[in-house]
Amino acid sequence: MTSRKASFAAGLVVTASLAGIVSGAAAQSLPDLSGQSFVFAGFGGDLQSNQDIAWLQPFAEATGVTVLQTDAPNSAALATQQEAGNVTVDVIQIEASVVDANCGDMFVEVEIDRSELNSDLDTNACGVPVVKFSFVLAYNASLYDTAPTSIGDFFNTEEFPGVRVATSFANAGLIEAALLADGVAPSDIYPVDLDRALARIDASQDAIEFRDSFAIIQDGIASGEFDMALIPNGRALNASLINPDVQVTFGNAVTLFDNVAIPAGAENIEAATAFLQYTATHSTQVALAERFPYGVGTVGPAPNLSEEAISFFPDTYTDQLLVQDTDWWGENIAEVRERVNALFAQ
């Protein structure tokens, strides 16, 4: 599975040693899970590598559990596993909108202490909000006298000419950016006028290149192959480390977050529930954020970040962000995916 998120070079954030993280995990009075195991399914790539260091290894060390890892299936693949009675994962990282729409059906409700979670992000009884990130507009600043101020400027080829690129994924910021470009106020984006958004994208297809991997887009904007891109903020930071001319705007950046949740049919419920409780604490989520420029789903002191990481960190720009309506996306993702695929197949 193609990862939509990436890590960044060492030294940009203040990172704790593994020993320090492990001692922090032990301080949570976690249960003894010796002899048990569970399968964690994340988005792969560098994000999961950092989760392994910040979350999985400390949890395993503190509890004695064995943690196996794989890539997360999408909701359709997970549903197929569940219909076949062969669920292969115990904890899955997936978009919060998917868990919101399927809590108690596709995902198991869990009884955990949610007191450290951000109540604005804690939107269901099944998942734990994690990994808050933004789809930003990244651009080559050397090409423009005036900087773009909104992700809607992705469609403004008159003021910002050049080769622009986005993914063909349904939920990757392009729908909202198209509506902003078409004159819709940020406060009126939801519920999405899908006909209007797709018409705006269709009218601009000749000016946009599409790729099926954020890794390809990251490399392309860093190398100069692309001049402008809609991309997760962590990917943009990586590109800027290679090419300092790569800058970003968080203006109306579509901001969302994931959940970690337990799929219905999972085999190792006890260990999986204990892990969800572990991720529901601020110290656990900060341990990842200090390795990785994405926000947390908890409340408490801000992560200790370097100046470079702060400039690419969503919570630095709270007043500028367009927070995604997870209810709307949860109810409409299947239709959006179908219609976006049909548009790009023309």
Task: Compute the distance between CA of residue 156 and CA of residue 175 in angstroms, rounded to an integer.
Answer: 15
- Using alpha carbons, list the distances in angstroms from residue 155 to 137, 148, 213, 309, 345: 11, 11, 20, 27, 20
Quote the pLDDT of residue 285.
Answer: 97
Task: Compute the distance between CA of residue 178 and CA of residue 190 in angstroms, rounded to an integer.
Answer: 13
Average pLDDT for 156-165: 97
- Using alpha carbons, list the distances in angstroms from residue 343 to 154, 200, 301, 346: 19, 11, 44, 6
Closest C-alpha among 98, 108, 101, 100 to residue 73 = 98
Buried b (16+ CB within 10 A) or exposed e, 297-315: bbeeeebebeebbebbbbb
Average pLDDT for 86-112: 96
Q: Which domains does the chain have, with CATH numbers?
A: 18-132+257-310 (3.40.190.10), 134-255+317-345 (3.40.190.10)
Average pLDDT for 86-113: 96
In the chain, % of residues over pLDDT 70: 92
Buried b (16+ CB within 10 A) or exposed e, 96-120: bbbbbbbbeebbbebebebebbbee
Helix (H, G, I), strand (E, B) or coil at 136: strand
pLDDT at 23 exceeding the cut of 60: no
Cβ(325)–Cβ(187) under 8 Å? no
Average pLDDT for 251-259: 97
> Angle 326-345/194-203 helices, nearest 10 degrees?
40
Average pLDDT for 147-158: 98
Q: Which residues pair with 136 in a beta bridge?
A: 231
Q: What is the pLDDT of residues 308-337, one digit of tens each?
A: 889 999 999 999 999 999 899 989 999 999
Residue 231: pLDDT band with limits 50, 70, 90: very high
The mean pLDDT of the chain is 91
Helix (H, G, I), strand (E, B) or coil at 50: helix
Task: Compute the distance between CA of residue 150 and CA of residue 249 in angstroms, rounded to an integer.
Answer: 6
- DSSP assignment, residue 163? -
State which H helix or E strand residue 281 sits in: none
Quote the pLDDT of residue 24.
Answer: 55
Residues in the chain: 346
